[in-house]
Amino acid sequence: MKYLLFIVFALSIWSCSKNTDRLPILGERDTAIRTVNGKEVVDTIYHTIPDFKFVNQEGDTVTAQNFKDKIYVADFFFTTCPTICPVMKKQLRKVYEKIQGQNDIAILSHTIDPEHDTPAVLKEYAHDLGVKGTQWMFVTGPREKIYEIGEKQYLVVAGADSTAPGGYIHSGAFVLVDKEKRVRGMYNGTDDEATKRLMDDIERLKEEYKNK
């Protein structure tokens, strides 16, 4: 239920903010009070993606440090998915083609079937998509860690479900994360217009950093 409420919140914020130059910051937030020169200052503490440790298609360890000072797009999938994953990867490949060679932008795809999707399987999958290098990483790791970061941090559906096609259920969302590891947008990964909006919002984020 929490992820559903988050998605509704995210979409409502996007709707209210789509005509502004600055993308909204999504997710739960808190406040902290500090004293500066004898005056109380209220700081907003935003939801951020914490550190993680997975293994990519090259067999290399991947942590949040790999995405330091980078904007990135995250999603969840599995290579044998019979439903939305092929459509999602077709859409995400459009993003990949646009960002190729831009060192401050990346893509991070998490498998939710780590028993099958080994680094070797992920490497073949990436090759079949025409992905070269590691600007687009496909990662695997402990099942519980993948599900936890999906549902609690990226706030999307990610888990095993024997009643679902292929035995797993996951969100079709692409999640846009900024350089401070804050969620700045969520997009329907099966929709062409939503993918175009994602690419536009990546450009908006880039401009936001240029103007800092």
**Structural domain boundaries in the chain:** 48-210
Q: Give the predicted TM-score (pTM) of the model.
A: 0.85
Q: Of the candidates 177, 188, 184, which has an alpha carbon nearest to the alpha carbon of residue 87?
A: 188
Partners of 53 in the beta sheet? Answer: 63
Which residues 6+ apart lie within 8 Å of 100 measured at CB?
Answer: 135
Mean pLDDT, contiguous 10-residue spans, the chain (212 residues) = 40 42 86 77 86 98 98 96 93 97 97 96 97 97 95 85 74 95 96 97 95 77
Residue ranges of alpha helices (H) inside the chain are 2-17, 85-99, 119-128, 143-148, 192-210
Q: Of the candidates 43, 103, 39, which has an alpha carbon nearest to the alpha carbon of residue 67?
A: 103
Domain spanning 48-210, CATH class? alpha beta
Which residues 6+ apart lie within 8 Å of 24 measured at CB?
Answer: 10, 13, 14, 16, 17, 184, 185
- Specify the pLDDT at position 20: 55
Rg of the Cα atoms in the chain: 17
